[in-house]
Structure 1
Amino acid sequence: MSRTHSSGHLLALQRCAALVCSSASFEQLAANVLQSCLPLLGDFGFFDVDLGTEVVRTARAHEDPATEALLRPTRWAHQERDDGMNLCALSSGVPAVHPDIDDAWYRRVARGDEAHLAALRGLAFGSMVSVPLRFSGELVGALTLFMGRSGRRHGAQDVALAQDIADLVAPALANVRLLAAERRARLAAESAQRRMQLLAAASSELSQTLDTPATLRTIARLLVPAVVDWCRIDLVDAQGQPSVALVHHQDAGLAARAEAHSRRWRASATVPGSVDWTIRHAKPQRGSVTPENIRLITDPDFAELVRILGVHDSLMVPLVARGRTLGALVVLQAESGRRFDDADMTMLTQLGDRAALALDNARLFAQAEEARRQAERASRAKDEFLAMLGHELRNPLHPIVTALTLLDKPEPRAHELARQVIGRQVRHLTRLVDDLLDVARIAEGRVTLALEPVDLAALLADAMETVQPAVRDKRLSCRLELPAAPVHVRGDRTRLLQVLTNLLVNACKFTDAGGTVTASLASDGGEVQLCVADTGMGIAPALLPQVFEPFVQGAQAAARTQGGLGLGLAIARSLVTLHGGRISAHSEGEGRGSRFCITLPQLAAAAPPAAAAPGPSARSAGAARVLVIDDSEDVRETMGEILRGQGYEVRCAADGVEGLDIARDFAPDLALCDIGMPRLDGYQVARRWRSDPVLGAAGLIAVTGYGRAPDQALAREAGFDHHLTKPVDSQALLELVASLIEAVRRRRSGAPTAAA
């Protein structure tokens, strides 16, 4: 050193050097430096050291515990003042000396901060000096000393000695800084290694399970207690609603208690920092748990629990996989005292990505398993249905074949019996086919309703009349409970009658002889409830939830005495739903009967439906000419016979080419034409028909087994006036033929015709 030193000065430096050399740690070094300065250079003081990541302050007072108690909570703060006042050498880099301090100085330093002013007055110092610590040109700290109740003032010698002590200590502080940096680097490397090991373990363990609960437990076990004190995972359900899936802590009892509270109370997704906010925005967030945060919890028990547990730090990570947010991972620090940093956030975000992928894989696997089970159930249902369909089709075919042999007998009684048998069995076959077609139409959304006011009481009475043969055959007791006044709904009369008939047929079918079937109708609160109850075989509890599914039936004996395809209730549910209503099934179990209820919106007032205008009479057509084109000889023969019975002149053709040839000579008023025929199909026939100048004005009706909406559209495009699906009701066919012939004649005569 270039300056000259007094003996006291040298003694102080020697003492400081000895204390520095004997210091085993940074804390001891800082305390020893202050000890060497007190009371020679001050009554109390600070020793502030910049360790690179933070400035650490050590405060001491000489034989004044009250002053030392005031100093210890203080923290270093960078000083930049616009009045040029130098208060801290660590801020300015040059010594700061204030030997004459009074209350005006206090007020100037405090600048209106009353708390700061009170603290300065409480310390009651009259002089201060702050000298910088430098090593290799780098500012590493500052030594600040105060003269208090001793009343002394700092002079030039005191400043010089303080600076010499700072220069003496600076190399030791540099070593401390290097050691601290080395320790931080070692801890960071160890922490990074632990994080990498955790992520590697997570990748390995999470890849080994495709079960959601197992995946959740694995995530929690990897984190608690090695990394965090608490782990909570929320998942989003199929409806997009988040809920608690797991809460984990070392203490299982505490975890169960916290989970119960978490399920009971959730902060809104509009509250920043909430779990639902994290899920909605798919962004990680880190925050401290403060008393202010706890006060936002509206469940007082939950708030008290968080307070008791001492939760102080939180981190929330969204679980996002394949662009879909599955939920959120919430981790908390409590009893360990640990804090989250940027490295923790990065690691937990990466862990969240792995967890989300594992959870999504588990979800997809569960969906694939369910799809496989559904496919297996569908395959079994298909096999069962095909076997059932074969049985149901053979049942009516057998009596038909038998009845045909009766027609070979000469007795009129045998012919009448054959006609009755064939009629009944054909109606049965038609119902089976109609049910299959209805299911197809409903599945394709092709069912349209002709809505009008319908009196349900009258309709229920009609449906009950329909099932009277079954009622008589099984000697059932049949009760009809109707209100005194009509009850109207807005609906399709035909379709509603179909629903009611299905329910009544079912009730009769599954009720033993001598049982009771009850149909009731009531209205209340703007709704109509129609119920069909029976005392029959009932519905097994396992079957009840599936009773409205297509092809579902209870177990039947091999004889299948009840018959049917298991479609009636499925059709009924779909038609009721189309009417804005609902249908339900109730049963106390097998052998205890069943009850089906339909609820529909009631129509407040309904005008009686207008009477239908009478259709044109077939007889009025006179000797009109009709051509039948069909590759089935049976169809040609039977249809021709029916038409001739109405007075029409009829010709028949076995295919489209023959049909066009006959038509040019016969010049029919109308043709009934099949679609699927050899040589020329029905669509080709219609196109050539319409392009022919002689035939073009005649009527064309497609009579075919192709009944889908696309088939009907193709028929219209080809030129057919109407499309009928086999089997065709004879009376409906004759009415349509008479109507269309009348329109054709009016068109040929130039008279105006009604729009089709």
Structure 2
Amino acid sequence: MRQQVFDALIGNRCESEETLGAGARRNAFLSQAAGLLLQVDNPKDAIDEICRNAMHDLDCQFFFNFLFDEQTKGLRLNAFAGLPEEEAHKFLDLDYKTLLLGCATRDCECDNTCTARDLRDELANAYGLTAYYCFPLTSYGRIIGTLSFGSRTRPGFDDSATMLMETLSHYVSIAVARSHMEHALRECDRRKDEFIATLAHELRNPLAAIHHGFHAMARIGDNAIPILQPIIERQLAHMVRLVDDLLDIGRIATGKIEVKMEAVDLVAVVNRSIEACEFALASRNHKLGLFLPSEALLVNGDPVRLVQAIANLIDNAAKYTSADGEIDVEAMVEGLEALVIVRDNGVGIPADRLETIFSMFEQIEGYSGGLGIGLNLSRRIIEMHGGTLQARSEGLGCGSEFSLRLPLSDGTITARAPSA
């Protein structure tokens, strides 16, 4: 009897020591993983190395790391192991569905079909997968990707293995989020430098014209005033508009912009916007097509701010459309919304820039078109009115189209189809 008790104690002690040893090894591994992920600028290689090392400890043959792609709004394969390249390319891009949050948990414990379950089923059918856990990578409450492990040699994962995978997922989330933030900061710094250079250029041109105008009047006398005064006034108006846009961006950012809401006829607003851009359109001999309904389009808004927003769209079209180009401005009712479209046959917008073009200081490379704040300001103003502003283009050289939507007011008269 004593021998049996002694043997049991020795056995338990050995198991405890083995458990403690395994725990110490995993703690050391996680510590090294955290240090490596925090040191690298691009975490992809570090994720690959760390997850491959974890596979051995977890008795896994597969791992997959997907990251959320802002451009495609889907999940894109970032790192993996266990599949040949050609097989992995089947899962290069996965749809990001609403159900992902429900299934991007341990063992995809949900009843709904989703991309993570599709991947698991494919591995089970082709490679005899017997255990699979998928964890979401999150940053500030947003899913930024997934990390999953799979095994064909074990029936499931115990709590210790699950904790290891979950901890790795937290570390990878932090590393990916930090990489994204550092990239965003570098990009912001680059845009700031470009903005300062562009601002200096945009202010220098009208100042130079005003300077030369006054010198010419001093030399020539009063006879030069009728010729030079309109030029000086246009340049001053351009400078005032630049400064006003800059001030409004600051006011919106600090919540100090004033919006005086009233019933507004959007047709009248469009006409006033065109008048504000008359010089920009005439200076390059643009052909303007105007398609407006004969009746009012009533919306609730600040007429001054709406003119500013639409004028920025027309001015943007004028800047990015070559001389003798075509610009169309159209207004209509669509459902319960008033729709204004500004369309041009100018330089166009690459597909991957249709959203980022609304960012501060953003411009199409190779084309000079102001400070890069007009579209950002227009979108912010429209959103303050409960509307939306979107861009569409078939790509560079194919022109662009900006669609502005605002809720109709209760007193809106249904407009007839627009006529040329």
Q: Provide the TM-score with structure 1 as the length reference.
A: 0.42
Question: Which residues of 2 match residues 165-176 of structure 1 at below 5 A?
Answer: 174=1
Tell me which residue corresponds to 2:400.
Answer: 594
Q: What SS is found at the alignment partner of 1:595?
A: strand
Residue 199 (structure 1) aligned with residue 26 (structure 2): yes
Tell me which residue corresponds to 2:418.
Answer: none
Structure 2 runs not aligned, ≥5 long: 38-45, 70-74, 414-420
Residue 566 (structure 1) aligned with residue 372 (structure 2): yes
Q: What SS is found at the alignment partner of 1:547?
A: helix
Match of 1:402 among 201, 208, 212: 212
Change (3 A) 1:405 1:275: closer
In the alignment, the residues of structure 1 paired with residue 172 and residue 282 of structure 2 have an alpha-carbon distance, to the nearest angstrom, of 58
Residue 504 (structure 1) aligned with residue 314 (structure 2): yes
C-alpha displacement of 1:487: 1.5
Match of 1:551 among 335, 351, 361: 361
Question: Which residues of 2 match residues 448-597 of structure 1 at below 5 A?
Answer: 448-556=258-366, 562=369, 564-597=370-403
Larger Rg: 1
In the alignment, the residues of structure 2 paired with residue 556 and residue 409 of structure 1 have an alpha-carbon distance, to the nearest angstrom, of 39
Tell me which residue corresponds to 1:603.
Answer: 409
In the alignment, the residues of structure 2 paired with residue 404 and residue 526 of structure 1 have an alpha-carbon distance, to the nearest angstrom, of 53
Question: Which residues of 2 match residues 276-675 of structure 1 at below 5 A?
Answer: 345=159, 347-348=160-161, 352=164, 358-409=168-219, 411-556=221-366, 562=369, 564-606=370-412
Q: What SS is found at the alignment partner of 1:408?
A: helix
Query: Which structure has greater helix proportion?
Result: 2
Which stretch of structure 1 is more off in the superposition, 457-466 or 360-369?
360-369
Residue 222 (structure 1) aligned with residue 57 (structure 2): yes
In the alignment, the residues of structure 2 paired with residue 431 and residue 176 of structure 1 have an alpha-carbon distance, to the nearest angstrom, of 95
Deviations 1:569-618 (A, max 9, x none): 111010011111111112222222111110111123159xxxxxxxxxxx
C-alpha displacement of 1:463: 2.1
C-alpha displacement of 1:534: 1.2
Q: Provide the TM-score with structure 2 as the length reference.
A: 0.72
In the alignment, the residues of structure 2 paired with residue 517 and residue 373 of structure 1 have an alpha-carbon distance, to the nearest angstrom, of 36
Change (3 A) 1:370 1:315: closer
Q: What SS is found at the alignment partner of 2:322?
A: coil
C-alpha displacement of 1:432: 1.3
In the alignment, the residues of structure 2 paired with residue 175 and residue 480 of structure 1 have an alpha-carbon distance, to the nearest angstrom, of 102
Structure 1 residue identity aligned to 2:301:
G
Aligned-residue CA RMSD (Å)? 5.1
Q: What SS is found at the alignment partner of 1:569?
A: helix
* Maintained 8 Å contact 2:62/2:82: no
In the alignment, the residues of structure 2 paired with residue 541 and residue 264 of structure 1 have an alpha-carbon distance, to the nearest angstrom, of 22
Change (3 A) 1:408 1:219: same
C-alpha displacement of 1:183: 7.3
Deviations 1:424-460 (A, max 9, x none): 2221211111111011111111122111111112221
% of aligned pairs identical? 27
C-alpha displacement of 1:504: 1.4
* Maintained 8 Å contact 2:286/2:324: yes
* Maintained 8 Å contact 2:321/2:347: yes
Change (3 A) 1:455 1:202: same
Structure 2 residue identity aligned to 1:603:
S
Structure 1 runs not aligned, ≥5 long: 1-173, 280-293, 608-756
Q: What SS is found at the alignment partner of 1:596?
A: strand
In the alignment, the residues of structure 2 paired with residue 317 and residue 592 of structure 1 have an alpha-carbon distance, to the nearest angstrom, of 42
C-alpha displacement of 1:528: 1.5
Change (3 A) 1:555 1:237: closer
